[in-house]
Amino acid sequence: MARAKAKGASKKGSSRRPETGQDAIALLKADHRQVADWFAEFEKANSKRKLALATDICNALTVHTTIEEEIFYPAFLEATEDKDLHHEAEIEHDAAKKLIAEIEASGPDDDYYDSKVKVLSEMIKHHVKEEEQPGGMFAEARKSDMDLDSLGEEMAARKAELESQISDVPMGARKGKNGVLGRMASAMTR
């Protein structure tokens, strides 16, 4: 399995690039930029567009947190043994998942909808800053022996799998705790 190889292999020893052309950190940063763009669009959008953007944001964050929690974070913890950064990231994910569930269960006609998306945006900006800053999780990962190319490949494959699960489900069946995203989020918090 790629994960076992990714955890023990040196990043310097890997010449194979993921199909996406991105190592794990580049893949995660690209996700961060995409969601930041959607949050910025959301602030200027009309109600119909807000629903589509919030859905895109929630879907992307659900997939993103899943690949981080299943693949990147365990490899990071094993390679660095930095429990503080790892645990803070996990707690930030838990808070975001709760707010995502609230957003998915409501809509633009909810008085608190825009505020929930705004708070989620602020939470994600903070989380991204924590991961990307000097001395943050990504910098520590780069200094470790994590095989970021192999992890990137594994994460890209898992991301594609999760995205196809979401796209195969009709829009109305995606929302709420019993929808596909709700079940994904519940499985991640167990």
The confidence score (pLDDT) of residue 74 equals 98
Tell me the per-residue pLDDT of 9-34, one tens digit each, with 9 for 90 and over: 333 333 333 344 689 999 999 999 99
Residues near 166 by beta carbon (within 8 Å), at least 6 away in sequence: 59, 62, 63, 174, 180, 181
Rg of the Cα atoms in the chain? 17
Q: What is the pTM of this model?
A: 0.79
Tell me the per-residue pLDDT of 54-86, one tens digit each, with 9 for 90 and over: 999 999 999 999 999 999 999 999 999 999 999
